[in-house]
């Protein structure tokens, strides 16, 4: 049976690819025990083979299902003797197009994964976080949580919600000595952005293409910090300020570049 043997441990959703996979690799290199969870079972199997079964618990998980989440957390708790140093709510999906042209059912699926999935994770994992000194509840938000961006309206809405939830829980969970933080990535080279988006990205600035390892390194830094919001790249913090101070100007700039 896979067992953490007293090591620090991280529970990662969306671990089969992209930012989640790079985070699993990095924490494995740092000597942590990794819980890797995703709907992509083939990707999980490949990750576990790479990290070693003694270092990685890999299980299928649809984060929108609370019962599946309970099963995953229970298995993780068995492997770590009830320890969870970091919960990394990373799983997410996106749809691109005009709000009025996409089926409502598809957009509600985005809400179920990106927001309800995060809530499922926090509710289910909280007893383990409370039982672990200096635990961190960490969630992937998005640069679209700085300003609602056209053509990904519902995705942006869920990421705004995640950001707000993180801010609120960062105070509520102080009574448990559990920290909360999030990462707001820009254009990351993962399976989510289209090839066209990546190909047409600017060479510099806040929306240049960033490698997934930079987000993984941010998770590592966040564990030893009390910083609430982590922007990747850091220049996105200026966009967040602009959205708060002059949202109309930013809205109009985004509208000029709107293409399907």
List active site positions: 155
φ/ψ of 4, rounded to 5, equals -75, -20
Q: Which of 200, 186, 190, 198 is nearest to 235 (CA)?
A: 186
DSSP string, 131-200: TSTT-EEEEE--GGGTSPPTT-HHHHHHHHHHHHHHHHHHHHGGGGT-EEEEEEE-EEESSSS-HHHHHT
Phi/psi class of residue 9: alpha, beta or left (left: φ > 0; alpha: ψ in -120 to 50)? beta
Token digits of residue 3? 């067992």
Token digits of residue 64? 């929108």
Torsion from C-alpha of 98, 103, 104, 109, nearest 10 degrees: -100
Phi/psi class of residue 81: alpha, beta or left (left: φ > 0; alpha: ψ in -120 to 50)? left
Q: Which residues pair with 34 in a beta bridge?
A: 10, 56
What is each CA distance from 81 to 12, 84, 88, in whole angstroms? 17, 9, 19
């Amino acid at each position: 049976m896979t067992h953490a043997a007293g090591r620090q441990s991280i529970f990662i959703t969306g671990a089969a690819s992209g930012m989640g996979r790079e985070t699993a690799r990095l924490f494995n290199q740092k000597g942590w025990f990794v819980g890797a969870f995703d709907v992509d079972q083939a990707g999980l199997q490949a990750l576990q083979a790479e990290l070693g079964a003694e270092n990685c618990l890999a299980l299928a998980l649809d984060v929108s299902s609370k019962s599946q989440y309970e099963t995953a957390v229970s298995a993780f708790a068995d492997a770590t003797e009830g320890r969870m140093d970091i919960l990394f709510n990373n799983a997410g999906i996106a749809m691109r197009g005009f709000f009025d042209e996409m089926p409502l059912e598809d957009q509600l699926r985005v809400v179920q994964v990106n927001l309800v999935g995060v809530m499922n994770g926090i509710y289910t994992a909280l007893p383990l976080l409370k039982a672990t000194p200096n635990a961190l509840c960490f969630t992937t938000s998005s640069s679209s949580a700085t300003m609602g961006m056209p053509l990904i309206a519902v995705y942006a809405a869920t990421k705004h919600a995640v950001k707000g939830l993180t801010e609120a829980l960062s105070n509520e969970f102080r009574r448990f000595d559990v920290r909360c933080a999030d990462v707001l990535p820009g254009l990351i080279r993962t399976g989510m952005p289209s090839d066209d988006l990546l190909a047409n990205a600017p060479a510099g600035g806040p929306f240049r293409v960033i490698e997934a390892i930079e987000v993984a390194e941010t998770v590592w830094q966040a564990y030893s910090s009390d910083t609430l919001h982590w922007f990747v790249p850091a220049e996105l913090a200026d966009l967040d300020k602009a959205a708060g101070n002059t949202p109309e100007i930013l809205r109009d700039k985004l509208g000029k570049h709107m293409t399907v």
